[in-house]
Amino acid sequence: MINRDGFSKSLWQNEAQAELAQRSMPGYTFDVVVIGAGITGVTTALLLQQSGKQCLLLEAHNAGFGTSSGTSAHLNTLLDTPYPDVISKFGKQKAMLAAQGAAEAIAIIKGHVDKYAIDCDFAYKTGYLFSQNERESQQLTEISKALEVVGISAEWSDGIPVPLPFDNAIKVERQAQFHPTKYLSALLRQYIADGGNYLDQTAVDHVDSDGAVQRVSAGKAIYQATDIVYATHIPPGLNLLHLRCAPYRSYVLALKLARDKYPDGLAYDLKEPYHYFRTAIHDGRPLLLVGGNDHKTGHEAKAEHVFSELEAYARKYYEVQAVAYRWSSQYYIPADGLPYIGHLPGGGNHQFVATGYSGNGMIFGTLAGRILCDLIVSGESPYTTLLSPSRIKPVAGFSRFIRENADVLKHFVSDRISQQSLTELSELAKGEGRVVKYQEKQVALYKDEYGKVYALHPVCPHAGCIVQWNSAEQSWDCPCHGARYAATGELLNGPASRGLRHIGLDD
Ligand code: FES
């Protein structure tokens, strides 16, 4: 079983976790340390290792712990950011390059599947985009024209593979789908077979750099490398990227249908947020994946309702026999619509990052592997001018952001709370969490399934925002930059680098 950063189980977690991690390292000096073993980290490490760089891949939990096991694993060149927007913000040539990059990512995945005979249900599928009102039809016409401009061949279609009413639809061939954790495990196995080093359950505490040498402290050891890659979905620490990437949650249902009307193809409506559909094979049987209802992380108090709404939406069009799986997952929307892949802002010449993938994580995570490998090996990538984080202009308020963070940390107080007050405050159902007021301060309370109550400081240690309870994933989520914590306070996802502080209990 693959562990994930959430309480709900995704369709992809039922894979046996390959026992791949080493427990000791052959030395402490590497060419590259890659931090994070999701699709970005594993692809980057594999390509670097095969290019002659000796790599160490470090993972705080297990491979695929983050969004790589929470994706719906669509592989499309129809990016989340509509091409008319990409053209208007980046120009025609760069929009063409973005389309080329998406196609290259699918080709890289297919190349790996073929070369290593990976059994991961990879299949080319036709992708459909459909409108349901006049405004969306106009939008679809503009998208269709923009697709032609960027070199993606799209045709108008009389039908769509899902039983929803629609006005107009376009279809694009050679989109694809796969099983993400089967693919990821196979890639990791190959990386190790190629001589790569891998430690899981090894969180990075901090990184020091004198420019030429990066010193990575992790698991009581210090590893040195010429280059490091933050493949952690969003980099840790305080960085311009945190002001340029907004965290979102997306919800997915895997449904068993009463009659086999599973779609043969990928389908997307044009709502905001949009819904997406595909079929996946699980234990030899098809399941319908329906996703959508996205919202900003930490901005939906009743995430349980989001699942109910999504299920009601699916039941409007399908005879659902059972909800086999349901889960939510996180992604980051970049300010200008395309991801940031390249040198870490403020990190010098030897620290690299990839983030801001929107809902195209499998595509951009794979492309990031290619780009980061090229940058580290040769110093160049055809995608540098398009995707480099250096395109971020100075961000107003960034120095205030740093200052305020320092203030918040100064004001961390070691409050205590009496057992009696805790009992009065904790009118919670088992499995419920809530931020409550106690003596003019806020306290995060969680009652576990045995009735034990945990009291935590709800102040996110990254930059001081107040976390919110996520009932769907039983986690504390930070609305500012997306850090997430287990119900009992342990860190699940950065950019924070430690968990929520516990509040002491007096008798
Ligand atoms: Fe930045 Fe919480 S993630 S303040």
Domain contains 476: yes
Residues 210 and 196 in one domain: yes
**Is 403 a residue whose pLDDT tops 70?**
no
Residues 307 and 361 in one domain: no
Residues 233 and 364 in one domain: yes
Residues 423 and 502 in one domain: yes
Confidence of residue 20 (pLDDT cuts 50, 70, 90): low
Domain contains 110: no
State the pLDDT at residue 22.
66
Is the distance from CB of 481 to CB of 472 less than 8 angstroms? no
Confidence of residue 412 (pLDDT cuts 50, 70, 90): very low
Confidence of residue 425 (pLDDT cuts 50, 70, 90): low
Q: How many domains does the chain have?
A: 3
Domain contains 274: yes
Domain contains 101: no
Please tell me the residue having the least CA distance from ligand 1 atom 4. Answer: 463
322 forms beta bridges with 256
Most confident by average pLDDT, 22-31, 40-49, 255-264: 40-49
Ligand 1 centroid to residue 245 C-alpha, Å = 12
CATH code of the domain containing 362: 3.50.50.60
DSSP state of 331: E
Residues 423 and 484 in one domain: yes
First to last CA, the chain: 40
DSSP3 helix / strand / coil % (the chain, rounded to 5): 30, 30, 40
Residues 435 and 491 in one domain: yes
- Mutation probe of ligand 1 site: the residue of 248, 460, 470, 497 with most atoms within 8 A of C-beta: 460
Is the distance from CB of 80 to CB of 357 less than 8 angstroms? no
Ligand 1 centroid to residue 419 C-alpha, Å = 29
CATH code of the domain containing 493: 2.102.10.10
Ligand 1 centroid to residue 11 C-alpha, Å = 29
Written as one string, the DSSP assignment of 267-322 is EE---SSPPEEEEEEETTEEEEEEEEEEEETT--S-HHHHHHHHHHHHHHHS-EEE
Residues 272 and 312 in one domain: yes
Residues 299 and 354 in one domain: no
State the pLDDT at residue 410.
44
Residues 227 and 362 in one domain: yes
Which numbered atom of ligand 1 lies nearest the CA of 483?
3
Ligand 1 centroid to residue 477 C-alpha, Å = 9
Kindly report, residue by residue over 119-165, the tens digit of the pLDDT. Answer: 999 999 999 999 999 999 999 999 999 999 999 999 999 999 999 99
CATH code of the domain containing 273: 3.30.70.1990
CA distance 92 to 381: 19
Residues 480 and 444 in one domain: yes
Domain contains 374: yes
Is the four-CA dihedral 288, 293, 294, 296 of positive or negative sign? negative
State the pLDDT at residue 441.
77
Which numbered atom of ligand 1 lies nearest the CA of 463?
4
Residues 288 and 368 in one domain: no
* Parent domain of 452: 405-506
Domain contains 147: no
Kindly report, residue by residue over 40-71, the tens digit of the pLDDT. Answer: 999 999 999 999 999 999 999 999 999 999 99
Kindly report, residue by residue over 304-357, the tens digit of the pLDDT. Answer: 789 999 999 999 999 999 999 999 999 999 999 999 999 999 999 999 999 999
Confidence of residue 408 (pLDDT cuts 50, 70, 90): very low
Residues 409 and 479 in one domain: yes
State the pLDDT at residue 421.
67
Which numbered atom of ligand 1 lies nearest the CA of 464?
4
Domain contains 444: yes
**Is 27 a residue whose pLDDT tops 50?**
yes
Domain contains 481: yes
